[in-house]
Amino acid sequence: MVGTNLDPFSDRYAERTHGMNVSEVRALFAVASRPEVVSLAGGSPFVSALPFDAVGSMIDELVRNQGAQALQYCVGQGDLRLRELICQMMALEGISASAENVVVTVGSQQALNIVARVFIDPGDVILAEAPSYVGALSAFMASQADIVHVAMDDDGLIPAALAEAITAVRASGRTIKFLYTIPNFHNPGGVTLAEHRRDEILQICRDAGVLVLEDNPYGLLGFDSEPSRALRARDEDNVIYLGSFSKTFASGLRVGWVLAPHAIREKLVLISEAEILCPPTFSQFIVAEYLTTQPWQQQLKVFRELYRERRDAMLDALGDMFPAGCTWTVPSGGFYVWVTVPEGLDTKAMQPLAVSERVAYVPGIGFYADGNGRRNMRLSYCLPPPERIREGVRRLAGVLEQQLELVETFGPSAFQATSPGDGPRSWISGPSADQV
Amino acid sequence: MVGTNLDPFSDRYAERTHGMNVSEVRALFAVASRPEVVSLAGGSPFVSALPFDAVGSMIDELVRNQGAQALQYCVGQGDLRLRELICQMMALEGISASAENVVVTVGSQQALNIVARVFIDPGDVILAEAPSYVGALSAFMASQADIVHVAMDDDGLIPAALAEAITAVRASGRTIKFLYTIPNFHNPGGVTLAEHRRDEILQICRDAGVLVLEDNPYGLLGFDSEPSRALRARDEDNVIYLGSFSKTFASGLRVGWVLAPHAIREKLVLISEAEILCPPTFSQFIVAEYLTTQPWQQQLKVFRELYRERRDAMLDALGDMFPAGCTWTVPSGGFYVWVTVPEGLDTKAMQPLAVSERVAYVPGIGFYADGNGRRNMRLSYCLPPPERIREGVRRLAGVLEQQLELVETFGPSAFQATSPGDGPRSWISGPSADQV
């Protein structure tokens, strides 16, 4: 980092901050947020589909009638009424749970963070899909974990790969604290863990004494079917479950939750109180009011239809315009498509050119702790309308064609000067809202 | 902790959770929240003094006109418009700052937590007043700090005691990461750092190369004078400043901030993103709207008058009713009076009796990391109206009289069976909202 040697505090920071720096990617994203750029980068939900008039009136009433409670501190575990409503919501995925074991958090990012702090000592291993959510990697690494990636395919996490990874890590003498997995509409992978693999994965973990951390922000945003039965619904003793209202209602409220076995839940509350005292009371009251007074299931349907249309627009555009040799996943819900580009291309090195061509994406390396992902990019279809998605894909296709020509002319070394390989990283910069 | 041996995960938790347990005090506070109990325990602001109708309408407008931004993710550092308004607010205390160096946090508790995580390795020393804010101790201990307390008197932190503590800690071979101080209307001490000591304290820290963490949630809630000039206003290179809207507007929004030298600020943002992705956008937009469209300075005056009246009610009641041998501080702002009871009494042992007599307070030991504080209690006057404060003090005086009689009859050993001495603690349970 330029200027580090001028930092008068450089000898005082904690060990966990080492390797932490402001990524160049950030500066690019600042440019990418200009209106002329089509951003396929962010995971921001399309909140404009909400009925703002009805929500505004509802909140007005809330302040007038319950201001004294809604604007005051609440208990660290979160508002009891909301926790009960959360249990009703989780029942849609087959989960039977008590409000007593739910902890409300500042989005599921804080849930990831408190789980990390309750379990991870420096050097502990966390198993995570390859690729995995950048925000989770970031939370785990802030607790000085080592991430070991486990392969996925179109059916999600591969059971045999998981079993092998557990054996290999243990043979190396290291301790596994948990498996982190996003079973539904994976971020960034776009795939879903197949029904027939779910019990097998859980069995492998139970047999090996490995806890499972199930992250499920998109579970109710499937396009084709009823919600899948959650891992937590199949094993309540060995699964910690994370949920969020960021994608189903409003990300700016920052309300998520964690459901955990009782002994773990007690520790999560104490760490959360040390971190934030209590989650935003006002946001919690708003969510509880929304779930009890507004037609939220109908609104979910609106979101699902809207995202399905955008997913179709993206898949069509990719099929029509992306150069031969590119492949991508076909999500049946959620926000993301994971693209693999032909050998010789480097999605990180290519990014500045893409931004100059007025299209943004997230390079694959952000989703790996081991430096992989240079041939991948995450494209999201959640925020721009279909015609903008098509235009973005068109611009990106142009960039890819240009790069492929360069590679054909000069060979893959064309990129090596500007883009040294990344090894394992001690810190994943991010997440920013662009990488959610 | 009862049942620990039944916890199937007991061998998997991180080192930092050791010693963490649910304090008995918590169970008592649950009882203390019953309406028949006068709570002099909590630090909850009297939000009912806010004009709920005006605030409700303001928020309704906000959702209708700016819903797409207000309900969406924002940047991890916090909304720029709010950060600029925060700089204007800090100018009231003589601070000149750029929005670029402000990080918005989930209340100042999260600010304490991210500062802790940026600086503290296990075993590092944090200097803190004796007593100090329980939430800060909790955040520092969650990063495995050792707390070394420094004496205060009625003029706040004692410069000579600070200089001695620095020398002693260094002689023991340990590293001091910063001095944590609440200069104005101390929580729980109720005292204010005298004007003539401010530059001296800063000079001692600068000379010794010790960073200063200035926590100032109550600075604008002084009863008798203009706001004091902040430590940050006197030394911008060596002071990290924390502020909050919890006491001046609404605690349930969870909006605080940290102002830090640039190099530190960059790291704070990265840790904050790993913890919560971004602070609640909606809360931030509400605060920004409030500061630009509502008469907030006039509302502050309403709060000051209200708290002054309650402070007076408490001091009068203490003078009228507390038994001889009790002493207390006289706050000129903020929420708290710090009481010292006669030798032989034990405020922790006495607490269940007090609750059964329908009055609650926070025992002094919560505010020390070294087991001190058994002859102290924190009384807060922020939430109950004057006549309830008087009634609470009356009940508490009765409990004290009763205890004093026991001590006279049986000697101080009357309490020793039920209340073993606490040594240094590795974890401070809390804060709960009752201990803010």
Residues B107 and B113: their CA atoms lie apart, in Å, by 10
Residues B260 and B307: their CA atoms lie apart, in Å, by 30
pLDDT in tens, B319-360: 999 999 999 999 999 999 999 999 999 999 999 999 999 999
pLDDT of residue A405: 94
- Residue A407 Cα, gap to closest chain B Cα (Å): 36
Which backbone phi and psi does A347 adopt, to 5 degrees? Answer: -65, -25
- Which chain B residues in 126-185 lie under 8 Å from chain A, judged by CB atoms? 135, 138-139, 141-143, 177
| Chain A interface includes B435 (CB < 8 A) | no
pLDDT of residue B32: 72
Neighboring chain B residues of A59 at a CB cutoff of 8 Å: 56, 59-60, 63
* B72:A270 CB<8 A: no
* B59:A55 CB<8 A: no
pLDDT of residue B109: 97
| Chain A interface includes B250 (CB < 8 A) | yes
pLDDT of residue A416: 53
Section A33-37 average pLDDT = 88
Section B281-289 average pLDDT = 98
Neighboring chain B residues of A55 at a CB cutoff of 8 Å: 63, 67
pLDDT of residue A419: 46
Section A382-404 average pLDDT = 97
Q: Is A102 exposed, middle or buried (0-12, 13-18, 19+ CB in 10 A)?
A: buried
Neighboring chain A residues of B8 at a CB cutoff of 8 Å: 237, 261, 263
Q: How many CB atoms lie within 10 A of CB B227?
A: 16
Interface test with B, best of A6, A10, A18, A277 (most B CBs within 10 A): A277
Rounded alpha-carbon distances, angstroms, from residue B194 to B152, B199, B322, B340: 11, 10, 28, 21
pLDDT of residue A33: 75
* A433:B13 CB<8 A: no
pLDDT of residue B31: 72
Nearest beta carbon to residue A63 from set B55, B69, B427: B55
pLDDT grade, residue B416 (50/70/90)? low
Section A123-150 average pLDDT = 96
End-to-end CA distance of chain B: 24
- Residue B240 Cα, gap to closest chain A Cα (Å): 12
Q: Is pLDDT above 60 for A420? A: no
pLDDT above 70 as % of chain B: 91
Q: Is pLDDT above 70 for A428? A: no
pLDDT of residue A32: 72
* A10:B277 CB<8 A: no
| Chain A interface includes B376 (CB < 8 A) | no
* B14:A117 CB<8 A: yes
State how far Cα B266 lies from the chain centre. Answer: 25
What is the Rg, in whole angstroms, of the alpha carbon atoms belonging to chain A? 22
Neighboring chain B residues of A52 at a CB cutoff of 8 Å: 63-64, 67
Which pTM does this prediction carry? 0.95
Which position has the higher pLDDT, A127 or B407?
Answer: A127
Interface test with A, best of B59, B71, B435 (most A CBs within 10 A): B71
Query: Which residues, including other chains, have CB under 8 Å from residue A167's CB and lie 6 or more apart?
Result: none
pLDDT of residue B28: 65
pLDDT grade, residue B2 (50/70/90)? very low
Query: Which of A10-19, B89-98, B263-272 has the weakest average pLDDT?
Result: A10-19
Nearest beta carbon to residue A12 from set B13, B119, B250: B119
Which of A238-242, B10-14, B38-42, B431-435 has the highest mean predicted lDDT (pLDDT)? A238-242
Query: Which residues, including other chains, have CB under 8 Å from residue B324's CB and lie 6 or more apart?
Result: none
Section A162-174 average pLDDT = 98
pLDDT grade, residue B25 (50/70/90)? low
Q: Is pLDDT above 90 for A221? A: yes
Two structure tokens written together for B360: 């609650």
pLDDT above 70 as % of chain A: 91
* B254:A72 CB<8 A: no
pLDDT in tens, A176-200: 999 999 999 999 999 999 999 999 9
pLDDT of residue B216: 98
pLDDT in tens, B128-156: 999 999 999 999 999 999 999 999 999 99
| Chain A interface includes B22 (CB < 8 A) | yes
Q: What domains sit in chain B, N to C, each tagged with a CATH number?
A: 21-49+298-435 (3.90.1150.10), 52-293 (3.40.640.10)
Q: Is pLDDT above 80 for B306? A: yes
Nearest beta carbon to residue B70 from set A252, A254, A279: A252
Query: Which residues, including other chains, have CB under 8 Å from residue A347's CB and lie 6 or more apart?
Result: A341, A361, A363, A364, A365, A373, A374, A375, A376, A377
pLDDT grade, residue A208 (50/70/90)? very high
- Which chain B residues in 51-70 lie under 8 Å from chain A, judged by CB atoms? 52-53, 55-57, 59-64, 67-70
| Chain B interface includes A50 (CB < 8 A) | yes
Q: Check if the beta carbon of residue A109 is closer than 8 Å to that of residue A431.
A: yes
pLDDT of residue A6: 79
* B433:A70 CB<8 A: no
Section A161-165 average pLDDT = 98
Nearest beta carbon to residue B106 from set A14, A67, A276: A276
Query: Which residues, including other chains, have CB under 8 Å from residue B349's CB and lie 6 or more apart?
Result: B415, B418, B419
pLDDT in tens, A275-321: 999 999 999 999 999 999 999 999 999 999 999 999 999 999 999 99
Neighboring chain A residues of B6 at a CB cutoff of 8 Å: 263
pLDDT above 90 as % of chain B: 85
Neighboring chain A residues of B281 at a CB cutoff of 8 Å: 251-254
- Residue B256 Cα, gap to closest chain A Cα (Å): 10
pLDDT of residue A417: 42
Nearest beta carbon to residue B67 from set A50, A113, A273: A50
* B16:A283 CB<8 A: no
* A253:B431 CB<8 A: no
* B113:A276 CB<8 A: yes
Neighboring chain B residues of A282 at a CB cutoff of 8 Å: 250, 252-253, 282-283, 286
Q: Is pLDDT above 80 for A47? A: yes
Neighboring chain B residues of A70 at a CB cutoff of 8 Å: 252
Q: What sign does the dihedral B397-B401-B404-B406 (CA atoms) show? A: negative
pLDDT of residue B428: 61
pLDDT in tens, A57-112: 999 999 999 999 999 999 999 999 999 999 999 999 999 999 999 999 999 999 99
pLDDT of residue B225: 80
pLDDT of residue A3: 46
Rounded alpha-carbon distances, angstroms, from residue B189 to A295, B144, B291, B333: 50, 24, 30, 11
Neighboring chain B residues of A211 at a CB cutoff of 8 Å: 9, 12
β-bridge mates for residue B128, sequence order: B149, B180
Query: Which of A125-134, B25-34, B294-303 has the weakest average pLDDT?
Result: B25-34
pLDDT in tens, B233-249: 999 999 999 999 999 99
Place of tokens 């690019």: A28
Neighboring chain A residues of B254 at a CB cutoff of 8 Å: 106, 276-281
Q: Give me the total of CB pairs closer than 8 Å, taking one residue from chain A and one from chain B.
A: 290
Q: Check if the beta carbon of residue B424 is closer than 8 Å to that of residue B371.
A: yes
- Which chain A residues in 307-366 lie under 8 Å from chain B, judged by CB atoms? none
Q: Which residue type occupies A378?
A: R
Q: What is the mean pLDDT of chain A?
A: 93
Beta-sheet pairing, A362-363 with A125-130? unpaired
Q: How many residues does chain A have?
A: 436
Section B167-176 average pLDDT = 98
- Residue B277 Cα, gap to closest chain A Cα (Å): 6
- Residue B3 Cα, gap to closest chain A Cα (Å): 9
Interface test with A, best of B1, B4, B12, B75 (most A CBs within 10 A): B12
* B73:A251 CB<8 A: yes
Section B205-218 average pLDDT = 98
Calculate the dihedral angle through the C-alpha atoms of B267, B271, B272, B278, rounding to the nearest 10 degrees. Answer: 100
Largest CA distance in chain B: 70
* A273:B119 CB<8 A: no
Beta-sheet pairing, A125-130 with A176-181? parallel
- Residue A11 Cα, gap to closest chain B Cα (Å): 10
- Which chain B residues in 383-402 lie under 8 Å from chain A, judged by CB atoms? none
